[in-house]
Amino acid sequence: MLTLLYRARMVGLKALVTLVPVPRPMLFVGADSTRELSRAIARFGARHVFIVTDATLVELGIIQPILEHLESLDVRTTVFDAVQPDPDFALIDAGTAELESAGCDVVLGVGGGSPMDAAKVIAARATSNKPAAQLTGIMKLKAPPLPIYAIPTTAGSGSEVTIAAVLSDRDAKLKKPVVDPKLVPVAAALDPKLMLGLPPGMTAATGMDAMTHAVESYISRHATPDTDRLALAAVRMIARHLPRAYADGSDIEAREAMAIAASYAGSAFTKANVGYVHAIAHQFGARYHTPHGLANAIVMPHVLDYTRPAAAKRMAELARAAEVEGGTDAELADGFIQRIRDLNAELGIPDHLADLKRTDVPAIAAAALKEAHSLYPVPRYMNRRCCEALIKRMLPPDEAG
Ligand SMILES: [Fe+2]
């Protein structure tokens, strides 16, 4: 009965994503493309840009050249650098108050997924009478947000091209997405020069977030020929370039390939959506503040093991994209899961979650399935018992028993 309800809901969502057009942002790509984006912002008539970022990027000197260039183009700037990982409702409301008192007419998110997501929701909150807590859910935005622009400094979330932003509900210990095509930025710059200083651990985690987007969108029941092309290209590029960017952060060719791949993967999942990996990883993030990409990387092999009986052919195609050797589809599907495990090991990502507590598993499973079964078109339905067993495989040795 539950699976029938779930299938019916997914059919409805598929009709929605097919009927609702999703805009694609204008992308400026390559070293110093940030300057091209700034010129576009000025040309499109912005008077005062509200830059949403975090204090680390200000300290690293990444924000100052953007400010100076915009000011040289007669565009005023105000910087809001209070974004922390996992932005919450209070941050959005505080940012919106600052935007309104400064009188900004455009929002520019600079940073990883958290600043870009915060920028998107602040732009929406500024044209809405509702507090941030009431904007979560699917297509809850009545008015168009202020124009949104994005400069990612990690190659991971794909937020610069997606319809989604994820907020934390700290009281409920839940992640709550805001999903609306109106959240797609007008334009973004994929500037690999801004990513050269990203530490290896963050390069690995964010890169595996992008890999998860590509994989989950490819095995999704809402995948289309268009999302398939984007997802396969992303998998190919990430498999080749993520180990390079991790081993040598100054490899600008690898950084640029990763930036493009993350945007491809973002475009793929904005239509085809994600699945159980994200549903479980979001609970780790909400409960233990596990970085999003790290949580995805740890969860992904286990969800692929579970999903394999229903998606061997699709996984074999992912394996070919990742240049895995093998003959039959079954061999290739197994090879792809092993490739993800090997990639995690190469990137220093553990196979268990150190913070995970056995006593938390039932609540995590319940919240993950609630999220997945209301939003994600997964290829193989999972019940509570299977989900709890799957999560227990990620317990640290001292909790595993
Ligand atoms: Fe993600």
Distance CA 114, CA 352 (A): 24
- Measure 293 CA to ligand 1 centroid, in angstroms: 7
User: Near ion ligand 1, which residues have CB within 5 Å?
Assistant: 209
- Cα-to-centroid distance, 42 and ligand 1 (Å): 31
Domain ranges within the chain, ordered by starting residue: 23-194, 199-400
Structure tokens at 38: 């700034």
Instruction: For residue range 324-334, list pLDDT tens digits in order.
Output: 988 899 999 99
341-380 pLDDT per residue, tens = 999 999 999 999 999 999 999 999 999 999 999 989 999 9
Residues 6 or more apart whose Cβ sits within 8 Å of residue 19: none
How many angstroms does the Cα of residue 37 sit away from the middle of ligand 1?
25
45 C-alpha to center of ligand 1: Å? 32
Q: Residues 77-90: what's their mean pLDDT?
A: 96
Distance 262 CA to ligand 1 centre (A): 10
The two three-digit tokens of residue 117, written as one number: 């997501």
Distance CA 282, CA 95 (A): 23
Cβ within 8 Å of residue 206, ≥6 positions away: 112, 113, 154, 155, 156, 157, 198, 262, 293
**Strand pairing partners for 345?**
none
**Ligand 1 centre and the CA of 168: distance in Å?**
14
Report whether pLDDT(113) > 80: yes
pLDDT band at 140 (very low <50, low <70, confident <90, very high): very high
Q: How much is the average pLDDT of 249-270?
A: 97
Residue 1, pLDDT score:
65
Q: Write the pLDDT tens digit of every residue in 302-322.
A: 999 999 999 999 999 999 999
Interval between CA 156 and ligand 1 midpoint (Å) = 7
pLDDT of 269 reads: 95
Query: Which architecture characterizes domain 199-400 according to CATH?
Result: Up-down Bundle (1.20)
CATH code of the domain occupying 23-194: 3.40.50.1970
